[in-house]
Structure 1
Amino acid sequence: MKGGMNSLVRQAQKMQSRITKVQEEIGNKTIEASTGGGMVTAVVNGKQELLQIKINPDVVDPSDVEVLEEMVLGAVNQAMEMAGEMMNSEIEKITGGLNIPGLF
């Protein structure tokens, strides 16, 4: 029984090591999401950190700032969601869909 537990612990440690490596690799990737037909683009990294906002000057209308705000918010939220999905997908490949509390 003791040998089986040691084996399980070693497997969990290997899995944690692989997850950490994947998290680092994904953290260096960038994800872009656009709204308004490309008028506003948000760029985030795999750590879900906002890196850049690109705004086409044609969308800037001082009399209607709300539309621009909504497009920025939409692009950022979409990019963040995509980054989270990418991280979850890669981790699921390692864990086989297991949800092990404290592992990642």
Structure 2
Amino acid sequence: MMRGMGNMQNMMKQMKKMQAQMSAEQEALNEQTFEGVAPDDMVKVTFTGDKKMKDITINPEAVDPDDVDMLQDLVLAAVNDALGKVDAQTQSTMGKYTQGLK
């Protein structure tokens, strides 16, 4: 009966170690920056790994008072590009911990 307890303690230690590793990797990921760009670099945005926008640069050529829709589309394209990169990096960094989990 005691042998089972040792296995349980060992498993708990392993889980704590894995949680600490996950936490450290998530923190490192959050500190990374990801740049998203719209076509022709008309709009550039920078996000952190935890999906907070840090910066946006809009090319003056993209600002046309008669075509605000185009500017909105460019901003959306840049934001979605950056967030896609964040998601891809998150999946490749953290995916190993969630494999097999549903």
- Give the shorter-chain TM-score range: 0.7 to 0.9
Where 1:48 maps in the other structure, the secondary structure is coil
Higher-helix-fraction structure: 2
From 86, 99, 102, the counterpart of 2:101: 99
1:24-61 Cα shifts (integer Å, max 9, x gaps): 11111100010122111111001111111111111111
Q: Which runs of 4+ in 1 moved over 6 A?
A: none
Say yes or no: does 1:11 pair with 2:11.
no
2-structure distance, mates of 1:4, 1:88: 31
How many residue pairs match? The answer is 99
Q: CA deviation at 1:96?
A: 6.9
Gaps of 5+ in 1: none
Gaps of 5+ in 2: none
State which structure, 1 or 2, has the greater radius of gyration over its C-alpha atoms: 2
Q: Which residue of 2 aligns with 1:48?
A: 51
- Aligned-CA RMSD value: 1.6
Maintained 8 Å contact 1:48/1:84: no
Say yes or no: does 1:88 pair with 2:91.
yes
